[in-house]
Amino acid sequence: MLAKPSHKRRMFRKYSREQLEEKIGPDIIRKFPRVRDMLATHK
């Protein structure tokens, strides 16, 4: 889905958790537990 980890981290820094959830979409968050974990730990 998303490219390299460094790119992912940069992307996650740019957005708030709410923006990310909107961007990624609830079904993808449901399908990928790792994404959910990242969002959960993402401040």
Residues 8 and 2: beta-carbon distance below 8 Å: yes
13-42: pLDDT as tens digits: 777 777 877 887 778 777 887 877 877 775
The vertex-35 CA angle with 31 and 38, nearest 5°, equals 155
Amino acid letter, 13: R
What pLDDT, on a 0 to 100 scale, did the predictor assign at position 24?
77
Q: Is 21 helix (H, G, I), strand (E, B) or coil?
A: helix
- pLDDT, residue 31, reads 83
pLDDT of residue 10: 64
User: Is residue 21 packed enough to be buried (19+ CB in 10 Å), middle (13-18) or exposed (0-12)?
Assistant: middle
Q: What residue type is assigned to position 20 of the chain?
A: L
